[in-house]
């Protein structure tokens, strides 16, 4: 059964507020709390995956998300990719917190228009 997100921003905004933002803030908290070492190095390597996807343009042609809704944050992929790349290079958790804060700002700005 496919979620009906094509006509309603409500499902997308709920998914954003209940899923995307908590995941981003949790990732930022983990990155901020982890001491330097092998575990943080693995997190840095993991951050390179979405960074590479967003910066490579591999998903630029997609206009619809997996649930059929508009990809409203497409114009922000560069910022997300740069912040994740910088985190991968430096291990500075504040970069992922910045990403989460920017996602919050742009998301609430977008969904407040609907």
Q: Is residue 1 part of a domain?
A: no
pLDDT tens, residue order, the chain (114 aa): 233 334 445 577 888 889 999 999 999 999 999 999 999 999 999 999 999 998 998 776 666 666 666 777 888 889 999 999 999 999 999 999 999 999 999 999 988 886
Return the pLDDT at 93.
Answer: 98
| Cα 85 → chain centroid | 13
Helix (H, G, I), strand (E, B) or coil at 83: helix
Q: Is residue 82 part of a domain?
A: yes
Q: Is residue 17 part of a domain?
A: yes
Return the pLDDT at 5.
Answer: 39
The contacts of residue 8 (CB under 8 Å, 6+ apart) are none
How many Cα atoms sit within 13 Å of 37 on the Cβ side? 5
How many domains does the chain divide into? 1
Q: Is residue 2 part of a domain?
A: no
This prediction's pTM: 0.82
Q: Is the four-CA dihedral 60, 62, 66, 69 of positive or negative sign?
A: positive
Return the pLDDT at 4.
Answer: 38
Range of the domain at 102: 9-112
Helix (H, G, I), strand (E, B) or coil at 8: coil
Return the pLDDT at 90.
Answer: 98
């Amino acid at each position: 059964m496919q979620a009906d997100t094509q006509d309603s921003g409500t499902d997308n905004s709920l998914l954003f507020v209940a899923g995307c933002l908590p995941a981003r803030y949790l990732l930022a908290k983990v990155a901020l709390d982890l001491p330097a070492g092998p575990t943080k190095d693995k997190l840095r390597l993991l951050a390179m995956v979405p960074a590479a996807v967003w910066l490579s343009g591999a998903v630029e042609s997609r206009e619809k998300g997996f649930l059929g809704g508009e990809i409203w944050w497409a114009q922000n992929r560069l910022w997300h990719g740069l912040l994740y790349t910088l985190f991968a290079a430096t291990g500075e958790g504040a970069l992922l917190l910045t990403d989460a804060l920017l996602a919050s700002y742009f998301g609430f700005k977008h969904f407040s228009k609907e």
